[in-house]
Amino acid sequence: MTVERFYITTPIYYVNARPHLGHAHTTILADAMARFNRLMGREVHFLTGTDEHGDKIVKAAQAAGKSPQEYCDEISGIFKTLWPELDISNNQFIRTTDPEHKRLVQKALQQVYDSGDIYFGEYGGHYCFGCERFYTEKELVDGLCPDHKTKPEYIAEKNYFFRMKKYQAWLLEHIKANPEFIRPEQYRAEVVALLESGELEDLCISRPKSRLDWGVELPFDTDYVAYVWFDALLNYLTALGWPDGQKMRDFWPGANHLIAKDILKPHAVFWPTMLKAMGLEPFQHLNVHGYWLVKDTKMSKSLGNVVEPLSLKDKYGLSGFRYFLLREVTFGYDSSFSEESFCGRFNSDLANDLGNLFSRSLAMTHKYFGGSIPQAGLGGPDEEELQLMAREACLNYQRLFGRFQTAKALDALWELVRGLNKYIDTQAPWSLHKEN
């Protein structure tokens, strides 16, 4: 019998700041998908970890008065310690400063270089230190980085480039032939529009050590380190023991990446073209979620609107916290966070609907039957309707949850919860008891 396998990854989180609600949401969603697939009988490998190279790490370490490695050890440790507190069931935690990861990144770089898909050239562009990437004029919004709203610095320097444009036509054809490759649909459409625009350029994949030395050294030129994305994205393979590890053979065919929409382009364009250049099949699905907004603004340390996940977990309980994150957000779209909305969801769904159902059912079982579940009676039309509702709720839940649509899946399940409450009201067992 062939065992189905499911490989779920979170982004590896950048360690320039402590974890916040956005990190918790992504990781809890990935954890829910891992648990769901285990319940469905699949063998699951669940990967998370931390991304530890680049300009921002050096600057954050300097501000903290530490070496980059000391700083990375501290913040990575905070992430790793947080996940058990949120009941995260990951199988593996990877760091891009792990020696084996760095060795395999160099192996991949050498392979792509030897194939002729990496070349040396000169480039000038608008560099955002926050994003650690170059932007074209067309990508800027009023001359500013679209994400950080800051003016990039124009940098001209000699670097190594990956022939990404070479694979543009292949990637476009693959996305169109596989509608579920990027989901939800709006992000697939965004990537298709980018590829059809003809604006895709080759990717600068190095940084000169004269400017940045905190990174993976290029195996074919020791004066340069790898661009952070060419290093970070490879974690999804190095964690499985690429190129010939057993986990690579077992789990890569079922690879599902889960990311926030701000890193869509690296995952939807850089990553599949890198895989193609390495002679590998692309991942199965790229699953993209929106932002948590606080007063209509993306959560950001620099803006001072970060929500600490542990404070909510400690105040309301872990189960309620996890339920809120899975129930409140329509997958792919932004959602506004406030403690009022948290309490409203907690009270309406968990206390009133589900809590009321449990409380009444258990209380009446104890009151009328001494705490023992009685023998079921013969069902009539009402019971048949309830059974049909239960079957439909379970099937809809499985169908939607398997596609990361957790809010819609839970709403389908709550149709049954509300139906059961209505059934109790209609049947009025307290009246039946009085009538013996």
Residues identified as active-site: 20, 23, 128, 131, 145, 148, 298, 301
CB 22 within 8 A of CB 326: no
CB 235 within 8 A of CB 94: yes
User: Is 216 in a helix, a strand, or coil?
Assistant: coil
Sheet containing 297-298: give its strands across. Answer: 297-298, 292-294, 335-336
User: Is 380 in a helix, a strand, or coil?
Assistant: coil
- Type of residue found at 331: F
CB 5 within 8 A of CB 251: yes
Measured between alpha carbons, how far is 78 from 98 in angstroms, rounded to an integer? 17
Measured between alpha carbons, how far is 145 from 148 in angstroms, rounded to an integer? 6
Cβ-count burial 101-128 (b if 16+ within 10 Å, e if not): bbebbbebbebbbeeebbeeeeeebbbb
